[in-house]
Structure 1
Amino acid sequence: MTAAGTEPLTRRRAPRGSARRNIVAAATELFARRGYEATSVQEIVAAAAVTKGALYHWFGSKSELLTSIYRELLAEQTARLREIADGPGPVGERLRAAAADVVEHTAAHVDELTVWARSAHLIDGEHADATRRERRRYHDLFRDLVLEGQRAGAVRTDVSATVITHTFLSALGNTHTWFHPDGPLTFTEVGHQLVALFVGGLRPPEESSSPTPAGTAGDRSRSTA
């Protein structure tokens, strides 16, 4: 029993509807600050102000929590890319829009995506396999847009569409290894400079001797990202 008008001396728990959101936010912050391996489930539930039961209601394990954070963002990226790829307008404009969109989405979720980039090698099994399949679908969708540009004559054909796709997405995905938030450019500004390099590099050479349609042979295999 507690006296009227007083609070029991227990931690206030998060409202039911916000529990999952709080778990994801707490895990992201702790993984970024302490590292995935050094962060315990108990530390996550304490920071999120939930019980272990609440965490395991939403996520079967710490590894599932990490992969779920990334897979949800990847699903958002894929849906956005599909909408752009299937939309109206010349393919060159859609490619620029797709590149700019992934930059904007990455910048909006840079902490979560950086945590995944640093920790993905620690995850194996079913969750890792599912994540790779979903990432491959994203790469294939982006590559197919590049292939469309090659067939339309808007994108150079002397470079494989797979090489083009991996070069841009890998450059963006590895920005966290050298980017400093106290530097002269924001993450978004760096990303848009990558877009400028990407779009500029897509243009067909002014003089080309018998260009090989690289998208017909080297790009039949699926992405291995």
Structure 2
Amino acid sequence: MKSPHTSPPSARGPADHEVRDQIVAAATEHFSHYGYEKTTVSDLAKAIGFSKAYIYKFFESKQAIGEMICANCLREIEADVRAAVDATGRPPEKLRRMFKAIVDASLRLFFQDRKLYEIAASAAGEHWQATVAYEERIQNLLQDVVQQGRLSGDFERKTPLDETAKAIYLVMRPYLHPLQLQYNIENAEEAPAQLSSLVLRSLSP
């Protein structure tokens, strides 16, 4: 999860500037070894070989760097989820795969990139724009799947669409929100199948 391609509003300078990409790549590597909370901009400057002032030409704060890294991580999770949803044409199966992909991708971040997971946890706890935007995109994807299911006749149409999508999202949230995930890991293996089955029964026309 180290591709520096996302530009949050707090980044400075040209969006495609190779120096910013270099800073983000180096910061991702540094954070993954030493952690976000324990790393300062001065630490990053020494590790990268730039002056702190030079880094500030591209990012206004450590959080701005962390937000870009967090956005990259979340976009990779989102890409996995969208790929799983797009792999089938049937809305009920799309929903099942969406649940499983979210859990699998979130657990991969938790166990394989624990230091980067700490950035995501900080971002979620402080409501960084990267996490807010990610959750909005997931909710929009979920609403699209529900709408497709209604058009195909697989899902009921009486409940308002936004209310239905929001309720399903709240069922998913313990496994996609970093701060909640750590308290639900023991149920993560069976959760996708059980929760998606429960939701699909509630959506029956």
Coarse TM-score class (shorter-chain normalised)? 0.5 to 0.7
Structure 1 CA distance for aligned equivalents of residues 40 and 174 of structure 2? 30
Between 73-82 and 147-156, the greater mean CA deviation after superposition: 147-156
Partners of 2:147 and 2:174 lie apart in 1 by 18
Change (3 A) 1:42 1:65: same
- Which amino acid counterpart does residue 89 of structure 1 have in structure 2? G
Contact 1:146 / 1:155 at 8 angstroms: preserved in 2?
A: yes
RMSD: 3.6
Match of 1:191 in 2: 188
Which residue identity lines up with residue 118 of structure 1 in the other structure?
S
Q: Any idea what the Cα deviations from partners look like across 1:145-194, whole Å, max 9, x if unmatched?
A: 13433554545677822111222133442122464xxxxx6xxxx43322
CA 196–88 in structure 1, closer or farther in 2 if over 3 Å, else same = closer
> Counterpart of 2:9?
none
Aligned length: 175
In the TM superposition, residue 105 of structure 1 has moved relative to its aligned partner by 1.9
TM-superposed CA distance for 1:69, in Å, is 1.3
1:133 is matched by which residue type in structure 2? A
CA distance in 2, matches of 1:202, 1:155: 10
**TM-score with structure 2 setting the length:** 0.64
- Shift of the alpha carbon at 1:98? 1.9
Identical-pair percentage? 19
Q: 1:96 to 1:40 in 2, by over 3 A?
A: same
2:182 to 165, 176, 183: 176
Query: Equivalent residue of 1:192, what SS?
Result: coil
Query: What runs of 5+ residues in structure 2 fail to find an aligned partner?
Result: 1-18
The residue number in structure 1 matching 2:198 is: 201
Q: Which amino acid aligns with 1:176?
A: Q
CA contact 2:80–2:105 (8 Å) conserved in 1: no
Secondary structure in structure 1 of the residue aligned to 2:188:
helix
Distance 1:192 1:45, change over 3 A: farther
Change (3 A) 1:154 1:191: farther
Segments of 5+ residues of structure 1 without an aligned counterpart are 1-15, 180-184, 212-225
